[in-house]
Structure 1
Amino acid sequence: MELDRRLNAFRPDLAAEALKGQVEAARFVKGEPASVTGSVAALRPFPDIGRGIDTELLFGESVRVFDRANGFAWVQADADGYVGYLPEEMIGSLAKPTHRITAARTFLYPEAELRKPPIKAFSMGSLITVIGDAETRGTRYFLLAGGGAVIAAHCLPVGEAMADDYVSVATKFIETPYLWGGRSGFGIDCSGLVQLALMMVGKSAPRDSDMQASFGNAITRDELRRGDLVFWKGHVGIMEDEETLLHANGHTMTVARENFEAAVKRIGWLYEQPTGYRRIV
């Protein structure tokens, strides 16, 4: 069985050293550690800006770089193992983050002053390195290693869970635009919503819906409750309660709430009936 190219770095000319003996390649490399420096970095299956994206990496997330050529870097994300190409300009030296962004979206200001025009925007989940703090007119800011300041109330120390209930995190993305391959507060897809919300409560999850379909424990439709996942072919949603589905979807082109039974009926004509139900342990 051929290895999943989404989770294994291999090409005829080059492959990750960890795959030696599993794949054929002209050369095997360990790769070099790096961190994402762009606000959101689109990860593509090919080094072509015109190709659709598979997923996105957030500011401060770490990767292993296997190759750099023609303005692209071929990388593997440390968080979920996803492999792909991103613009080389969006990675830099490996950072040592201290905090994670908890607001759906927030700004990086040039200094501790919200009246200054922001120089970058961060999504929830982004990793930053705090080296100090400051206060302006009663608002506390964190000062970052690379320069600039963020609102301190929009951050938590790395390793500290944002909430106990990941569904409450997912609801913070309601009305966020739907984006195929999206994984940020600026645009997100169905499985990206599941993965990012779980990450913010300290739980790791696979990236794509077909991978998530074997995550947790199988349950029946009659057992559905808050936090359970419902799968269709190519789609996943989160049960907010026994009657309400929360999902990033191409129907509203947003993250939206929808009556579960109505959603099953609406989705059924195109994607048939749900293929499974899972409870996260």
Structure 2
Amino acid sequence: MQKTNYGQARLSIVPMRAKPQHSSEMVSQLLYNETYTILEEQEEWLRIECLHDGYQGWIAENQAYYISQEIFDTPFKRYNADVIEWDQQLEMNLFMGSPFYDIAPNLVPPIERICHAAQQFINSPYLWGGRTGAGIDCSGLMQVAFRMGHILLPRDASLQAKLGKKISWGTHKRGDLAFFKNKDGKINHVGLFLSPDSILHASAWVRVDSITKIGIFHKNSATHELAFIRRVRF
């Protein structure tokens, strides 16, 4: 496998870490067939930037798979089955959000695809940096669900909060995103409206809670303070 400046995930999950060491914090994950550019090499680690969201992190070189610039620059070749001869004799579980993965016909409205996808994660455990049903965080959940509606979101909630248009309480609807703030006023959480008074989000686990203009309530206790609502449509 000749080294290039481009790569592609050929495992079901490839952890991305904050520093070039296995004990470092996992900041995100590559899903099967996602592509990336290689920014730096340090011993047995590569610092990469994901093509789909621009997120950066370190991956172990022994989990990398190099591809040519031609394949990287051509979506058809990136995702065409002819390119994956290396995987022909392997069996693996593809997680929702991976290229090739689909859940509903294109005739289904994008927002319904998104909501349906998000609901498949209910009861999945919370995992910082996770993007699969084996463990997922709040912004990873939104990113993967919206991808099923063919909408690409950034990786972090603070970046997702900059997209779309702001919606006032009372005009929000199914498929809108609610953003929440900490005591310093910074965005630290995101969830998806399933109805005007119910929200799906990842907090300890993926669940559906009630929501008012004050914020999220779980078992009659306020857990997250609402900052604002945004509607993302492309």
Post-superposition offset of 1:193: 0.9
Mapped to 2, the partners of 1:183 and 1:231 lie a distance apart of: 19
After alignment, is 61-70 or 234-243 more displaced? 61-70
Structure 1 residues 192 and 163: CA distance shift in structure 2, 3 A: farther
Structure 1 residues 162 and 42: CA distance shift in structure 2, 3 A: farther
Structure 1 residues 164 and 81: CA distance shift in structure 2, 3 A: same
Identify the match of residue 47 of structure 2 among 51, 74, 99.
Answer: 74
Return 5+ residue gaps in structure 2 as ranges.
72-77, 82-86, 182-187
Give the corresponding residue for 1:17.
none
Give the corresponding residue for 2:210.
259
Give the corresponding residue for 2:192.
238
Give the corresponding residue for 1:62.
35
Is 1:98 paired with 2:71? no
Structure 1 residues 184 and 161: CA distance shift in structure 2, 3 A: farther
Structure 1 residues 222 and 268: CA distance shift in structure 2, 3 A: farther
Mapped to 2, the partners of 1:161 and 1:182 lie a distance apart of: 29
Q: For residue 218 of structure 1, give the secondary structure of its aligned residue in structure 2.
A: strand
Q: For residue 127 of structure 1, give the secondary structure of its aligned residue in structure 2.
A: coil
Post-superposition offset of 1:184: 1.8
Q: How do residues 35-46 of structure 1 correspond to structure 2 at under 5 angstroms? A: 35-46=8-19
Cα RMSD after superposing both structures: 2.9
Q: How many residues align?
A: 206
After alignment, is 89-98 or 66-75 more displaced? 89-98
Larger radius of gyration: 1
The AA in structure 1 aligned to 2:110 is: D
Give the corresponding residue for 1:122.
94
Post-superposition offset of 1:70: 2.4
TM-score (norm 2): 0.77
Post-superposition offset of 1:178: 1.3
CA offsets 1:198-243 (integer angstroms, 9 cap, x no match): 1111111111001111111111122221011111121001000111
Contact 2:215 2:226 in 1 (8 A): no
Higher RCO structure, 1 or 2 (CA under 8 Å, sep 6+): 2
Mapped to 1, the partners of 2:202 and 2:143 lie a distance apart of: 12
Is 1:275 paired with 2:227? yes
Q: For residue 122 of structure 1, give the secondary structure of its aligned residue in structure 2.
A: coil
Q: For residue 192 of structure 2, give the secondary structure of its aligned residue in structure 1.
A: strand
Task: Give the share of equivalent positions with the same residue, in percent.
Answer: 28
The AA in structure 2 aligned to 1:274 is: L
Contact 1:56 1:183 in 2 (8 A): yes
The AA in structure 2 aligned to 1:36 is: A
Return 5+ residue gaps in structure 1 as ranges.
1-30, 100-107, 111-117, 129-153
